Structure formats: C-alpha cells, structure tokens
Amino acid sequence: MGNVIGIVAEYNPFHNGHARLIEQTRARLGADCPVVCVMSGDFVQRGSPAVYSKFARAEAAARCGADLVLELPVSYATGSAETFARGAVAVLEELGCVDALCFGSETGDLDSLWRYARLFEEEPPLYRETLKSYLKQGVSFPAARSRAAEEYWNSSERILPCSADDADCRRAAAILDSPNNILGVEYLRALLHKSSRMKPLTIRREAAGYHELTLDTAMASASAIRHAVAGFGRETLPLEAAAQLPKESAVLLAQALQRNETLSWNDFSPQLFYRLLTDSQEELAAMQDVGEGLAVRICRNRLTFTSAESFADRIKTRQVTHTRVTRALCHILLGLSQKKLEERREADYPVYLRALGFRKSAGKLLSAVKRESASPLLVKTADAAKILSEEQRALFEQDVAAAHLYEAAKALKTGKALANEYTRTPVILP
C-alpha cells in the first residue's frame, strides 16, 4: 500500500474534474495509493441541499477511484470555508493513517496559498487592525481580507488605503476571489493549526470557473451541470451534461432524474417558511452564521416569502452575500446553533467516522484505519449508541436529522416512503 491520500469534496455531482484530481494525484504520489474522500452529506457548503443522494454520490466516487468515502458532519459541511476545512481536516486526522491532503485550486501554486494561510492563521497586529478598519467601513469580509492582506505585504514600502483599483489588491483578489483557492488556504490553515503530518498537494483546476454555467467547455463546473439538470419536470440527463461526467457517475445521476429524486433549495421552501414564521428573532439570531443583523432583516421580510431561492435574493445585501444568506437559511432549516458550533470550535472540531461507501478491494486501507484511527469506523448505524462517544453521538444525530429532512422532501416529491437513516448501509463495491 502506498501513501494514503486524503481528498475533501462534495461530488455534487462527481464530474470529470473530480476524476482528473484523483488521476493526477495518483500520478504524482503513486498508482497504488489508496484514496480516502471526506464528502459532504445531504447539505453542502454553499448552503443548499445536495442535488441527489449522498449514497449515490459516494457510489459514484467509489466507482471512479475512491477507496473509502466518509461523511463530513453537517454542521461543518454547511459552514464557512474555515469551518468546512477544519472539520474535514479533523476527519482525516482522526483516521491516523492519511499521508497527504490533496486538493484542486485555481492557481495550482502551493507557495502562493501558503503565503495567505500563514498570514490568516498568525494574524499579525497590522493585518488584524487593517482588517477591522475595512469591516467597520462596511466592506464585505472577503474584500476586506484581500485589501488587508495586501496592505500588510506592502507595509514596508507604503501604508496607504488599498482601493479596489490598486494593482496589489487585484493580485490578492486573483487568489482570494476564487472558491477553490479560498478552500485551499483554509486547508493549509487547518494543517498548521493541527501541526499535521499530512503533506499538502494542490493540482491546478482545468475545469471552468466555479460559477460558470456553460457546458461548452472541456471540463464544466458542478454548478453548470446542476443548472443543466434543474429544469422543471426533467427526467433525463442532457447529453451535454452527461459528457461532463465519468460514465459511472452519469448513470447514477440519470437514475436519480428518472426516479424524480433530484432536489433543489425550493423543494424545502415549506419547511423553511415554517421555521421563519415560528422562530422568534432571538431564536433566529442564535442559529449558526445568522446573528442579530441578519435576523432582523429576515423578520422584517419573512411575510414576503414565496420560495427559498427568491427569499435569499430578497434579503442579501452588498455586505451580506447570497452565499452567506443561503448558508444562514440552511442553518435555520436544520436548527444548527451558533453556540454549539463555537463549543465545538473550542474543542478543536470533534468528529466521528462514518462510512458512506468503500471498496472491498481496499482491505489494507481498512485494516490501517482500524489499527490507527482514534475513533471506530461506523459502518452499521445501529452500532452508533455502542461505539460513539457522547459528543460523537450528538454529531451523528444531527446528521440523521438532516438526512430525514432531506429524505422527507424527496418522499413528498416522489410519493415514496421516507428512507430511514438508521437502517441505511454504506455502498460496498468489490
């Protein structure tokens, strides 16, 4: 068995870019290297439901190169980039046998990502003060961070306000405005924080930009593929979308479409509207990533609610991005509290290990996990009460509740019985 490779992903859906990352990583580190994927479950980091089942997505990953797929707990999977990365790295660390953390990035330049990771993790006084100054001016956090970073780097030559037209600020934006670069920086911060022995490796993405919706490219984004299958009443996978997926992944997504089992944010509109109507302003403010300001705005506008998507568009502002809003609404829907997240942050992101899928052929990897991991690998959900600690059971029960909410929306859409998460088993391939 070669070096054990760790990859963090959503596979929403698993596309050619994901397959390329596994292929390129093995080309760099060894063809016999086993791959462990930490994957978002039923809800993903942008604050929306996954387009189809986490078990189907885990199966796609296993059929396309992964040896073991683990679930990232939902409170981390739907969190900010920092929370997402810290939770995912914590899962890989818990395994005790992962040698390398591999991820795609727009830059493909590890040194550039390390530069920002060290700055944001260390937060020297000048950077911290400059960041606070921009935030007080009402600049959004991503923009404020970019400007503060470049002012810090240039402080030996000049200490001047960093305007949007400043060439140095544009240089920072080239790194920090790209979603996978941002996640890459946060993975590196998490490795620093953990003093991890895992070695990072980044592969330059050749896929279209994260937000680009065109399929007329060699490797389209997951957003473009989701957009292509989101048409009302669509029951077949468009050929142009299928071409962007490995055959095994395309088959699984096509099956989900045929069964009417794909979901979008608006499929959760009734459940979300109920929470917005029945929760007080104080209760809303206590939810993860909401806070008082956004809670006030939600309460002022909640009687205008017509759908989840349109409501997010209504309450976003220049300072509060659409993604931040949808993430906050997702946490309201799931009942995830900010206080609990902060407690887990103070406890350095506790995790548990739940298998969503694996290959029997990865026997050496599974033996290494059994031998080296700090926590038992949960394969049968019925064993949760016996093998998980109290905090791990709390994480597990949150995942179960999220899964049942997801499956309830699917059941309402298909007319089929709700799938019981307590009886679900991992996908096992030869």
Choose the final residue of a domain: 156, 177, 198: 177
Which of 219 and 335 is assigned the larger pLDDT?
335
Domain presence at residue 301:
yes
Q: Does 216 reside within a domain?
A: no
Give yes or no for a contact between 289 and 324, defined as CB atoms under 8 angstroms apart: yes
**Average pLDDT estimate for 317-344:** 94
Q: What's the mean pLDDT in 266-294?
A: 97
Angle of the 167-176 helix axis to the 110-122 helix axis, nearest 10: 100
* 3-state secondary structure at position 325: helix
Report which of residues 208 and 217 the model is more confident about.
Answer: 217
For range 117-121, the mean pLDDT: 94
Question: Structure tokens of 128?
Answer: 């911290």
**Same domain, yes or no: 300 and 272:** yes
Q: Which two tokens stand for residue 135?
A: 């935030």
Q: What is the pLDDT of residue 211?
A: 54
Residues 88, 137 share a domain = no
Contact between 329 and 308 (Cβ < 8 Å): yes
* Average pLDDT over all residues of the chain: 92
Question: Is 19 inside any structural domain?
Answer: yes
The pLDDT of residue 250 is above 50? yes
Same domain, 165 and 80: no
CA angle 121, 73, 13 (to 5 degrees): 95
What b/e readout covers 333-371, taking b as 16+ CB neighbours within 10 angstroms?
bbbbbeeebeebeeeebbbbbbbbbbbeebeebbebbee
pLDDT tens, residue by residue, 136-191: 998 888 888 988 888 887 764 444 445 545 555 556 667 888 899 999 999 999 99
Give tens-digit pLDDT for 43-88: 999 999 999 999 999 999 999 999 999 999 999 999 999 999 999 9
* pLDDT mean over 232-247: 84
**For a pLDDT cut of 70, what percent of the chain falls above it?**
92
pLDDT score, position 157 = 44
Measure the CA–CA gap between 282 and 96, rounded to whole angstroms.
41
pLDDT reported for residue 231: 60
Residues 294 and 316 both lie in one domain: yes
The answer to whether position 114 is within a domain reads yes
Question: How many folded domains does the chain comprise?
Answer: 3
Domain boundary among 330, 345, 360: 345
Is the residue at 272 inside a domain? yes
Question: Percentage of the chain with pLDDT > 90?
Answer: 80
> Which range, of 167-171, 267-271, 326-330, averages the lowest pLDDT?
167-171
- Is residue 240 situated within a structural domain? no
Any residues with CB less than 8 A from the CB of 234 and at least 6 apart, and which?
257
Mean pLDDT on 365-374 = 96
- 280, pLDDT greater than 90: yes
Q: Does the pLDDT at position 119 exceed 60?
A: yes
Answer whether residue 215 is part of any domain: no
* pLDDT above 90 (res 384): yes
75, 192: one domain: yes
> Residue 389: which residues within 8 A CB-CB, separation 6 or more?
352, 375
Task: Report whether 333 contacts 271 (CB < 8 A).
Answer: yes
- Shared domain check, 165 and 67: no
pLDDT class for 408, splitting at 50, 70, 90?
very high
269 and 394 both lie in a single domain: no
Cα distance between residue 330 and residue 137, in whole Å = 28
Alpha helices in 235-290 (DSSP H): 239-242, 247-258, 269-278, 281-285
Q: Are 419 and 356 members of one domain?
A: yes
Cβ-count burial of 1 within 10 angstroms (0-12 exposed, 13-18 middle, 19+ buried)?
middle
Q: Which residue range(s) make up the domain with 116?
A: 110-177
Mean pLDDT along residues 1-13? 94
A 10 A CB-CB count for 5 gives 28
Q: What is the pLDDT of residue 318?
A: 80
Q: Is the pLDDT of residue 257 over 90?
A: yes
Check which CATH number belongs to the domain holding 76 and give it: 3.40.50.620
pLDDT for position 149: 87
> What is the C-alpha to C-alpha distance for residues 150 and 288, in angstroms, rounded to an integer?
30
Domain boundary among 288, 321, 345: 345
pLDDT score for 156: 46
Mean pLDDT of the region 242-268: 95
Residue 330 and residue 392 in one domain:
no
The answer on 362 and 330 residing in a single domain is: no
Same domain for 306 and 358: no
Same domain membership, residue 161 and residue 77 = no
Does residue 243 belong to any structural domain of this protein? no
